[in-house]
Structure 1
Amino acid sequence: MKTVAGTARSGSWSLVFADFKEITKARLAVSVVFSSIAGYLLGAYNVDLRSLLLLAFGGYCMVGASNAYNQVIERDLDALMSRTKNRPIPSGRMSVNKALAIAIVLTLLGVVSLYVLNPKTAMFGAISIFLYTSVYTPLKTKTPLSVFVGAFPGAIPFMLGWVAATNDFGIEPGTLFMIQFFWQFPHFWALGWMLDDDYRKGGFKMLPTGKKDKGTALQIIMYTIWMMVISVIPVFGITGRLELSVPAATLVFLMGCVMLFFAFRLFEKRDNGSARKLMLASVSYITLMQIVYVIDKFV
């Protein structure tokens, strides 16, 4: 009997943990924490393990809180879409009050953790939550400009790491912000292209022209080019302490060319398969670009 009871408890906790990961979108949160850590390493004069842990914990809490608030607000719309109907709230596994409590606790933990690093870091973290939940989320059913608004909180993590390391906001974190800001447009429009039919069930307007057409594909190409340009600007020595060697800039540019290739393929074929390849290429780009930046600084 004890073994059965223990197994039941173990299974119950596994479900609770799985729902927590789902309500906070753990995979996305971890990728955001990775960006923050990359920004920290770029800005730090000396790497401090305590600061890194506070940044990672606080960053996860802030992203997790934003996602939990989002799922509370969009619970009825999530129930209409195939990709979201099994989330904890619309499936009935988690109550709205419980999800809201999780969001509030994560907000407090995140703000406090980031404030211990410095007040500027906590301020930017709080701004990201506010913009994501109070501006971006309501706009998703109103206008395709929601992607533009959502790009602001989405671009904060890379910059946030630098601010956490230096307690300063200047040209360096501003450049990191702009790189991730422009990257988000091809990334989310490729994702929006793939999921357009499902998004329409929830009333979400994610594509810039509202259609999977050449106009949307052309804008994806344009924003990819802007992303590539800004990603190599540090090689010219005009971004303060944020520097990039010629070999590293060349590598980053070539990685951008790969992403641009898939953007042109989407323009040519205008199908979900091409959009998926672009989306995957964009995920690889942002991760590898940040790794190249960090390695280039220390090597």
Structure 2
Amino acid sequence: MSSTRVHNSTPSLLTDFKEITKMRLAISVVFSSVAGYFLGADQIDFVTVLLLAIGGYLMVGASNAYNQIIERNLDALMDRTKNRPLPAGRMSVTTAFIIASIFTVLGLIVLYIINPKTAMFGAISIFLYVSVYTPLKTITPLSVFVGAIPGAIPFMLGWVAATGSFSIEPGTLFMIQFFWQFPHFWAIGWWLYDDYKKGGFFMLPTGKRDRGTAIQVILYTCWTIMVSLIPAFGVTGKLYLTIYSAVIIFLLGMGMLYYAVRLYKEKTAEAAKKLMFASVSYITLLQIVYVLDKFIRQWI
């Protein structure tokens, strides 16, 4: 028994660290933040980009570690989470709390070096995620609304890091990612409904995989597309989108809407899984298109 532990210690420690901080999710958040920075910056300061990436990763890692501490007993009930470090007993609560605390302090320091507003929004994000969203997940479907707030901050955070101010431009970036999170998380909630039910989590707006939830998925997908196109009308300050990029965003949105409609028609876990992947593709490609649009306009 002991020899097995020694043999697996190094990869297990690394794997558990990646799991407790949800490295893949953290990297996607960093990507959003950096995209927001490129959109807001007049000149690219790669030191700031590095600080934003490090600070963003630390804050997301801290949020996820706190989340897993709070939900460790519920995670043990669900197939997809029962092998996480805490419910599986490979990591102690004390160790996880130390990691989360160090990440929180270092993350805030790094973001404060960029500018105080960036640190402030980072602090708001971790507070809402850990202290409001996490407890509400087992109480009400409205938890998704609360969780969409910290989830929408990264894209906006990059602009704030670049400019040191909050205005209509980062507000628009926030709204894009805010509305996007509803169809995204409801697709996950539908796909993993049975597993979430074991843990007592209420993720779907009606609480069921039914017509009402599917209709809301379609509505929020439409609102996501509409908000994403607002910069093309020249009403969002320095945040602007050319007609060519707007067409691309619209087509991407139609792709996501197609899978939302399929979920409405089929009402299956497989359809929800496809919508989830479509939503991830949409927000990632949207951010790339926004950034490319800005720099192509500058070069031309």
> Could you say which TM-score interval applies, normalised by the shorter chain?
over 0.9
Specify which of 40, 47, 50 is matched with residue 53 of structure 1: 50
| Secondary structure of 2:43's aligned partner | coil
Q: Paired residues, what number?
A: 293
Q: Secondary structure at the match of 2:258?
A: helix
Rounded to whole Å, the distance in 2 between the matches of 1:198 and 1:263 is: 21
Q: Which amino acid aligns with 1:226?
A: W
Q: 1:277: Cα distance to partner?
A: 0.7
- For 1:287 and 1:17, how far apart are their aligned partners in 2? 27
Cα deviation, residue 10, structure 1:
8.5
Which amino acid counterpart does residue 67 of structure 1 have in structure 2? Answer: N
Q: Distance in 2 between matches of 1:10 and 1:44?
A: 48
1:66 to 2:53 alignment: no
State the partner residue of 2:172: 175
Q: State the shift of 1:42 in Å.
A: 0.1
Query: Which residue matches 1:211?
Result: 208
Q: Which runs of 5+ in 1 are unaligned?
A: none
Q: CA deviation at 1:12?
A: 2.4
Provide the residue aligned with 1:226 in structure 2. Answer: 223
User: Which of 273, 280, 285 is the matching residue for 1:283?
Assistant: 280
2:90 is matched with which residue?
93
**Residue 194 of structure 1: which of 180, 191, 215 is its match?**
191
Alignment of 1:122-201 (within 5 A): 122-201=119-198
Other structure's SS at 2:39 match: helix
Query: Within 2, Cα distance between the matches of 1:67 and 1:276?
Result: 22
AA at the equivalent of 2:11: S
Amino acid corresponding to residue 39 of structure 2 in structure 1: L
Q: Matched residue of 2:280: which SS?
A: helix
Structural RMSD (CA): 1.1
For structure 2, the residue ranges without an aligned partner over 5 or more in a row are none
TM-score, normalised on structure 2? 0.96
Find the residue that maps to 1:243 and give its secondary structure. Answer: coil
Residues 101 and 221 of structure 1: CA distance in aligned 2, closer, same or farther (over 3 Å): same
CA drift at 1:15: 1.5
Give CA deviations for 1:68-115 in whole Å, capped at 9, x if unaligned. Answer: 000000000000000000000000000000000000000011000000
Q: Does 1:81 align with 2:78?
A: yes
Give the Cα–Cα distance (whole angstroms) in 1 for the partners of residues 151 and 209 of structure 2: 23
Find out whether 1:27 has 2:24 as its counterpart.
yes
Q: Which amino acid letter does the alignment assign opposite residue 70 of structure 1?
A: N
The letter for the 2-side match of 1:200 is: K
Q: Given residue 110 of structure 1, which amino acid in structure 2 is its aligned partner? A: G
User: Distance between the aligned counterparts of 1:29 and 1:188, measured in 2?
Assistant: 16
Matched AA of 2:161: A
Give, in angstroms, the shift of residue 14 of structure 1. 2.1
Cα distance in 1, alignment partners of residues 9 and 50 from structure 2: 29
Which stretches of structure 1, 4 residues or longer, exceed 4 Å deviation after superposition?
8-11
Whether 1:261 aligns to 2:255 is no
CA distance, structure 1, for counterparts of residue 24 and residue 150 of structure 2: 17
Residues of 1 paired with 2:243 and 2:225: CA distance?
15
- Whole-angstrom CA distance in 1 between matches of 2:278 and 2:211: 20
Tell whether 2:9 aligns with 1:12.
Answer: yes
Instruction: Report the Cα distance in structure 1 between the residues aligned to 2:171 and 2:10, rounded to whole angstroms.
Output: 42
1:16 CA drift (Å): 1.1
Q: Secondary structure at the match of 2:82?
A: coil
The alignment partner of 1:208 has SS state of: coil
CA distance in 1, matches of 2:255, 2:32: 21
Instruction: Tell me how far 1:11 sits from its aligned partner.
Output: 4.8
1:177 CA drift (Å): 0.1
Q: Distance in 1 between matches of 2:141 and 2:8?
A: 42
Identity value in percent: 68
Asked if 1:44 is matched to 2:3, the reply is no
Deviation at 1:9, TM superposition (A): 7.4
Residues 231-255 of structure 1 show CA distances to partners (whole Å, capped at 9, x for unaligned) of 0100000000000000001100110
Partner SS state of residue 48, structure 2: helix
Distance 2:7 2:38 in 1: 38
Residues in 2 aligned to 1:12 and 1:83: alpha-carbon distance in whole angstroms:
22
- Per the TM alignment, residue 52 of structure 1 is displaced from its structure 2 partner at its CA by 0.4
